[in-house]
């Protein structure tokens, strides 16, 4: 599959990118089919040949999520932005979120009405009846 993606250029600690058309199996810094523009994240400068990008998309090239979002920002293509990255969870956060989710599931089970013989009975009401007897 042909992809429209970023190819890293520039100096160490100052990355700039070329917007290239390449086979998705080609190495990131390797062979590409066409160079259609550039992106400098430090100055937020993004220039591409809109006609070439639309021609490639029309012939089946898929933009990566980052390129897709940049093309939408510059109104070269229309559509909704997509999630291009998700922050990694830290080890401590992962355990806390799992325990919070399980606690939330337990409380949800407790407050849900229980269906007994075609009538709904809330577990909290059921314990009140037992206390009265």
pLDDT of residue 85: 85
- Number of Cα atoms under 13 Å in the Cβ half of residue 109: 6
pLDDT digits (tens), the chain, 133 positions: 999 999 999 999 999 999 999 999 999 899 999 999 999 999 999 999 999 999 999 999 999 999 999 999 999 999 999 998 889 888 876 655 555 555 555 555 555 555 555 555 565 665 555 555 5
| pTM for the structure as a whole | 0.63
Distance CA 127, CA 133 (A): 10
pLDDT of residue 93: 67
pLDDT of residue 45: 95
May I ask the CATH architecture of the domain 2-73? Answer: 2-Layer Sandwich (3.30)
> How many Å is the maximal CA-CA distance in the chain?
82
Distance CA 5, CA 47 (A): 14
C-alpha angle with apex 35: 63 to 73, nearest 5 degrees?
Answer: 45
pLDDT of residue 59: 94
């Amino acid at each position: 599959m042909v992809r429209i993606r970023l190819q890293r250029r520039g100096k160490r600690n100052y990355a700039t990118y070329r917007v290239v058309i390449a086979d998705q199996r080609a190495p990131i810094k390797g062979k590409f089919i066409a160079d259609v523009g550039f992106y400098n994240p430090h100055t937020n400068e993004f220039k591409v040949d809109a006609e070439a990008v639309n021609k490639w998309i029309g012939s089946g090239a898929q933009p990566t999520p980052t390129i897709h979002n940049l093309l939408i920002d510059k109104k070269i293509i229309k559509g909704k932005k997509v999630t291009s990255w998700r922050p990694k969870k830290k080890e401590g956060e992962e355990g806390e979120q799992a325990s919070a989710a399980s606690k939330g599931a337990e409380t949800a089970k407790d407050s849900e009405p229980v269906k007994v013989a075609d009538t709904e009975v809330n577990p909290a009401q059921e314990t009140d009846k037992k206390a009265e007897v």
